[in-house]
Structure formats: structure tokens, C-alpha cells
Structure 1
Amino acid sequence: MSAFPEASPTGLSLADYERKLIARDKTIDVLKRRIAQEARHSHATPFAILEQNVGLEKVVARKTMELENERHELEKALAELRITQTQLLQAQKMESIGQLAAGIAHEINTPTQYVSDNVGFVKSANATLLTLLDAALALADVARGKLADEPAMAEFDATLKRTKLDFLRRQIPGALDESLEGLGHIARIVAAMKEFSHPSQNVKERVDIREIINTTVTVARNEWKYVADLETHFSDDLPQLPCLRDMVGQAILNLVVNAAHAIADTLKEGIKEKGRITISAQQNGDYLEIRVNDDGSGIPAAIRDRIFDPFFTTKAVGKGTGQGLAIVYSTVVDKHDGQIRCESQEGVGSTFILQFPLRSSKEDDPACK
């Protein structure tokens, strides 16, 4: 099956739209040639020719207006088809990632679990052995006075000195704790990747937005951890949100990545070593409002009206497709009947405000209950 939709809801393909545009544009040229031809071959009076030309010009003007209207409609349809194609590719990509994540989770979680269990056992055993060692040292102190001349006692003291026992007492528990912490971090990353990639099957379900945000932050950690500190702020008693969980997660991911890139452009050694990204969620009337704020480069006023346009990007070739914010807009507005706006000041930073309705258009869907 093709990765691209072959036709729009009207039944026309992209190629059909493009051919239709070309055909309509040729109509004006045909009318103009007809005027010139009749002027050359007609034996009518000048007044009749003038009257005929005026009539033809009115037809041309009317036809031109109709063509312009059709052009706008067709260009809008083309843009919608392109967005649909991009979303379909993204959905297929997310589905593939989800399948891979399930396998990766199994492959990584199993060894991680038994390594974690073993390290936990070693930590417990270490405490037991240290207790036994203390008893042995106490016994050695008692025996040393009676066995001072014995070679075995001298060998014991020499070995005790070489082992740097005090150093091992301090370092081993910390090393084991760090190992357990690292293994726990691996488990959380794998779980977050699996959760983030879980497809919603285009069915809305009620979710805790805090879980989606925390999962997304974990998945995107490699994008922001070197350039920014990230904070989350959630209001108490946040209501559950009826939504397509994977699409909302993808939208937040796109905003976090964009924020990290905007901050990276402003970093200067010795002046600004790291920026800040803040994600907050709160109820605002009938909406759940999510804000993603950064102290990056900001968006120039001249292009703010275009940032949600498909394929619009200010990044260098190969660095951006211009689809990140278009997908965010489509997710919030088209898929969830929500609202989105951007507040930005060049050189200061940007804040994207996403508002999702708390009452889903599919409220009667069992998945939303």
C-alpha cells in the first residue's frame, strides 16, 4: 500500500489538481487569442468591434476572478493533502517505532532486571560481610597480643594494610547505590519510550497529561540536557484530558526540541552556558492549557504569522523540514478542536500556549469514559 494518500476527499489526486490548475490558466490565453483573431479577420464597424471587445473583456475579467477563486481553493486542498501525507508518514513512523520499542523493551528490560537484582544482592551481602569483617578485626586485636611473633599474624596485618580497608568501606556502598540508580534510569527510559510510542489507534482516551509530559521529557532528554535545564509545573487536581495520546506527545516533543534548538543558538561560553525550558499545565475554564516556554532566540516579528505553515522553516537545508509546528497546529486545532498561539520576543524567548477542550467531540465514545 502506498505511503501517500492517492486522492483527496473529492476523489482527485495531487496530479489531477496540478493539471486542473494548468488547464484553467490556459483559458485566459485562449480568450485573448480569440479577441486578437476576430479583430484581424472581422469586417465589422469599429464600434461593433469595440463593443465585442468590451464584452469579451468582461468575460475575461469574470473568468479571471473565477480562476483566482478556484486557484485559492485548489492550493488550499493541495496544502491539506501535503499535511495529510506528512501526518500519515508520521503515523507510520510512530507505529514502526512502537513495534521496535516493544522489542527493545523486552531485550533491555530482561538483562537490566537481573543485573539490578544482582547488584541489590551484592549491596546486601556487602553489608553482611562488613559486619563479619568488623568481628574479625576485633578478634585480631585480641589475638595480636598473644600471637605477635606468629608469621600468620604478621601476614594478616600486612594484608590488612594493603587492602586500604577504610577507602573500600567508603566507596563500595556509594558505587553500588550509583549502579542501582543507573539501572533504574535505564528502566525508566525504556518504559518512557514504550509509552511514548504506543499508538492511540485514532481513538481518544482520557489521560493524565502529567504522564504524557513527563514521558516526553524523558524521551527528549538527549535533545535538551546539554543546552538547558528543564522544569515542569502542574496545577493541583488537573482533570484528565480526552485526547489522542500519541499525537499530543508528539506535539509536545516537537515544541521541546524546537525550544532546545532556539536556546542552543544563544549559548556563548562564559556568558550563557545553559538556557531554561519550562513546561506547565493548568485548567483554564473549559480547556486544559499547556505552556512550553524557553529563553532562546525568539521568533522575528516578520515571520511569526507563518510559523505554523507547512514546509516553512528558517533552519538550514537538512536541519529542518518545516513540519514540526505544522504538526503541532494540526494536532491541537484540527484533531482536538483546540486553540494554539505563540508569544515571542526576539532575543528574549518564546512561549507556545496549547489549549485542549476538556469535553471531547467524541464524549460518548467508550474510550473517553
Structure 2
Amino acid sequence: MSMSISISPAPDALAADALAAADFERKLRARDKTIEVLKKRIQQQADGSTTSSFALLEQNLSLGKVIALKTEEVERERQELQKALTDLRQAQSQLLQAQKMESIGQLAAGIAHEINTPTQYVADNIGFIDLASSSLMTLLDKTLKVVEAARASQPTDGLVAEVDAAVKKTKLDYLRRQIPEALAQSKEGLEHVARIVSAMKEFSHPSNGGKELLDIRDVINTTVTVARSEWKYVAELETRYADDLPQVSCMRDMIGQVILNLVVNAAHAVADTLQSGVREKGKIRIMVKRAGEQHIAISVADDGGGIPEGIRGRIFDPFFTTKPVGKGTGQGLAIVYSTVVDKHGGEIRCDSEVGRGTCFTIRLPLSADNGEAPCK
């Protein structure tokens, strides 16, 4: 967790940048109001019969000076705002990376357990096969002695009796059944470990800020594998993909983080409903389909407790969380919103009913050209 804390921007810095932008907008409005008042005053005096040309010229010069000063001030503040916005973008990028590293840190224990379980039974199976191999080698040696005696036309009765005893001791029929099963189980366990390691490697790989065409199903399957320890004890997770899904232009690591945040949130929502002991597991469903010609829709639904209506309008606000202190940072859904809307020009909708569950639906443009502004 220390890694994520060291690179995450301070909330005060983000608040200062937001205040700078608001202050700049306020000064712009004040400038426009001042100019409008001066213009009205000049117009009123110009319409009066007692206004002299000299007075009108003097007022015009004064207005010109005011406009020049205000323009210079606005330009200076525009440059300051540009710098503040640049700093804010850098802070957002650092915050995303920090949240990603925090997620990996939180998942580390579960991933270690996911790897340890198959590794343990692979080790047990190898130990069993090692003992079985020793017994089989002893049986083979005795059998070869019988063959050698028969080839030399020597008595084999005693040797055959030893082979029979070795066969009985070795439990040959049992080994014939168990060795193939142990090998198959070990192979399955090693493949499971390989999938987890590959998923972690792919999930952690940065996209360097650039979009690429990719199969969204791969991103989702990888993320589901990485987050398995978060949901497998509390819910059955189902994925449904439409047959006509095209490739999507997006940033792999950012969209992976979005899916991870939504899946983990769904798992936590389901887990909260299991404490009463009414049911053993809930359900999480991920569905992907086309949404018109230019977009796809990704929905992550759970049958947890739902989101109270009074806070639904705040769930995407930075630092807003309903979790106890130390359990949530309030950044998960804020980063989801920023990634989908600001970085990919998409949109996100939340449908929730208390006691029934929640469904987050994301619409992403298929091409980078459609990702410059929120889709409608």
C-alpha cells in the first residue's frame, strides 16, 4: 500500500486546481460585466444632448484602457489556468496509477492464495508419484530378474514368488488408476497458475497513454481472472458476449481498471447481503453487446443490496464513499467516470433498486475518432 500512497496526489492539490479554475471563470464574468456597464454608460451619454465630443473621446479612451488592462489580466490568468490544468492532468494520471497499484496490492493476498492452492496439490501429487515410481522401479527390477533367469534356463519359481509379493505390496491396480489422475490434476493446476500469472502480467502492463484496437472480451476475461479471489467466495460470476462484437479502440489498462473497480464493487455489495445468512452466494453478471453502429455497451450487474436513492447522485464524486474508514478511498467510481467519459468519450449509467441490486452500464465508442467527446 505504501507504493500507491507515495505516488498519489494530495487531495489539497486537486482542490487547489479546481479552485483556480473556478476563480478564473469568476474573473472572466467580472470583466464582461465591467465592459458591459461602461458600454451602456457611454451609449446613454452619447444619446444625451449635453454630451460633448471631448467627453465622449475621454470615455472611449478610458474604456480602451480598461479593456487593455482586463485583456492583459485575462491572458495572464489564462496562462496560469493552463498550467493548473496541465498539473491537474498529471495529478489525475498519477492518481490512476496509484489506484491501479493499490488495487493490485489489495488483490495480492487473494492472488497468492489462488496460486498457492493448485501449487500445493501439484506438490502433493508429485510426492505421490515419486513414491509410486520407487515402488514400480522395485517391481520392475524383480521382474527383470525373472526374465534373466528364464533366458538362462535357470529356476524361476522363487523369483516369480518375489514378483508376486512385490505386486501385492505395490498395489499395482491402485497405482494404475491414481497415477494418471494425479498427472491430470497436476497439469490442470499448473495451467491454472499459468493463467493467473499471465492475467496479472497483462493487467499490469501499461498502455503508455495510447489507444489500441483490441477484443474487449480479452480485457474482461483477464480482469475477472485477476479479481477471482474477490468474488469467488461470495458470488457466481457469469459473462455473456454478443456474437457480433467488433474490436474497440481504447486504453487496455484503463478499461481493465474500470472493469476491476466495477466487479470488486459488485462483489462487496453482494457480500454485504450474505452476512444475514439467508443465502450462500449471490450473482454477478457481465454482458457486452453492440449499442448501435458506433458503440458497444458493457454492463456489470449484481444482486446486492442496491444504492439508496439519496446518494446515487454522488457516487461518482471523488473521495465519496459509504465504506468505513480504511475500507474505501472514494476513488474507484470517480476513476471509472473519468476514464469512461473524459478519456474515452463514452458515458456511464447507474440503475439501482434497494434490495434488488445495481447495474452499471458503460457505452464506449468503437473508434478513436468517436472518443473526443461524450457520446449521445
Contact map agreement 1:290 1:355 (CA 8 A) in 2: yes
The answer as to 2:166 corresponding to 1:159 is yes
Aligned pairs for 1:73-92 (under 5 A) are: 85=91, 87-91=93-97
Q: Look up the match of 2:209.
A: 202
Q: Match of 2:364, SS?
A: strand
Deviation at 1:215?
A: 0.5
Q: Distance in 1 between matches of 2:85 and 2:357?
A: 29
Aligned to 1:240, which of 230, 247, 272? Answer: 247
Match for 1:174: what amino acid?
E
The answer as to 2:202 corresponding to 1:213 is no
Q: Look up the match of 2:301.
A: 293
Deviation at 1:197?
A: 1.2
Q: Distance in 2 between matches of 1:80 and 1:228?
A: 42
Deviation at 1:251?
A: 0.4
Contact map agreement 1:87 1:327 (CA 8 A) in 2: no
Q: Distance in 2 between matches of 1:352 and 1:170?
A: 49
1:291-334 CA distances to partner (integer Å, 9 max, x unpaired)?
A: 00111111111111111111111101100011111111111111
Match for 1:91: what amino acid?
Q
Contact map agreement 2:266 2:284 (CA 8 A) in 1: yes
Match for 2:261: what amino acid?
N
Aligned to 1:341, which of 331, 346, 349? Answer: 349
Q: Match of 1:311, SS?
A: coil
Aligned pairs for 1:89-238 (under 5 A) are: 89-91=95-97, 94=100, 150-238=157-245
Q: Distance in 2 between matches of 1:279 and 1:294?
A: 9
Q: Look up the match of 2:71.
A: none
Q: Distance in 1 between matches of 2:18 and 2:282?
A: 46
Q: Distance in 2 between matches of 1:264 and 1:216?
A: 19
Deviation at 1:151?
A: 3.0
Aligned to 1:250, which of 235, 253, 257? Answer: 257
Q: Distance in 2 between matches of 1:256 and 1:328?
A: 12
1:171-218 CA distances to partner (integer Å, 9 max, x unpaired)?
A: 110110111111111111111111111111111111110000001001
1:2-36 CA distances to partner (integer Å, 9 max, x unpaired)?
A: 86499999xx9559859x79xx9xxxxxxxxxxxx
Q: Distance in 1 between matches of 2:7 and 2:231?
A: 35
Match for 2:351: what amino acid?
E
Q: Distance in 1 between matches of 2:215 and 2:182?
A: 36
Q: Distance in 2 between matches of 1:148 and 1:276?
A: 71
The answer as to 2:368 corresponding to 1:357 is no
Deviation at 1:245?
A: 1.1
Shift in CA distance, 270/148, structure 1 to aligned 2, threshold 3 Å: farther
Unaligned runs of 5+ in 1: 25-77, 102-107, 365-369
Contact map agreement 2:203 2:223 (CA 8 A) in 1: yes
Q: Look up the match of 1:273.
A: 280
Identity, in percent, stands at: 55
Q: Distance in 1 between matches of 2:304 and 2:157?
A: 73
Match for 1:309: what amino acid?
D
Contact map agreement 2:272 2:304 (CA 8 A) in 1: yes
Unaligned runs of 5+ in 2: 1-5, 28-83, 109-114
Contact map agreement 2:7 2:94 (CA 8 A) in 1: no
The Cα RMSD (Å) is 4.5
Contact map agreement 1:79 1:310 (CA 8 A) in 2: no
Shift in CA distance, 237/15, structure 1 to aligned 2, threshold 3 Å: closer
Q: Look up the match of 2:319.
A: 311
The answer as to 2:265 corresponding to 1:284 is no
1:102-150 CA distances to partner (integer Å, 9 max, x unpaired)?
A: xxxxxx9xxx9xx99xx8xx99xx9xx89x98xx69x99xx9xx99993
Q: Distance in 2 between matches of 1:96 and 1:320?
A: 11
Match for 2:352: what amino acid?
S
Match for 1:252: what amino acid?
I
Contact map agreement 1:148 1:154 (CA 8 A) in 2: no
Q: Match of 1:265, SS?
A: helix
Contact map agreement 2:345 2:370 (CA 8 A) in 1: no
Deviation at 1:363?
A: 8.1
1:234-269 CA distances to partner (integer Å, 9 max, x unpaired)?
A: 001211111111110000000000000011111157
Q: Match of 1:308, SS?
A: coil
Q: TM-score, normalised by structure 1?
A: 0.64
Q: Match of 2:317, SS?
A: coil
Shift in CA distance, 252/97, structure 1 to aligned 2, threshold 3 Å: closer
Q: Match of 1:337, SS?
A: coil
More helix per residue: 1 or 2? 2
Shift in CA distance, 80/355, structure 1 to aligned 2, threshold 3 Å: farther
Contact map agreement 2:284 2:300 (CA 8 A) in 1: yes
Match for 2:309: what amino acid?
A
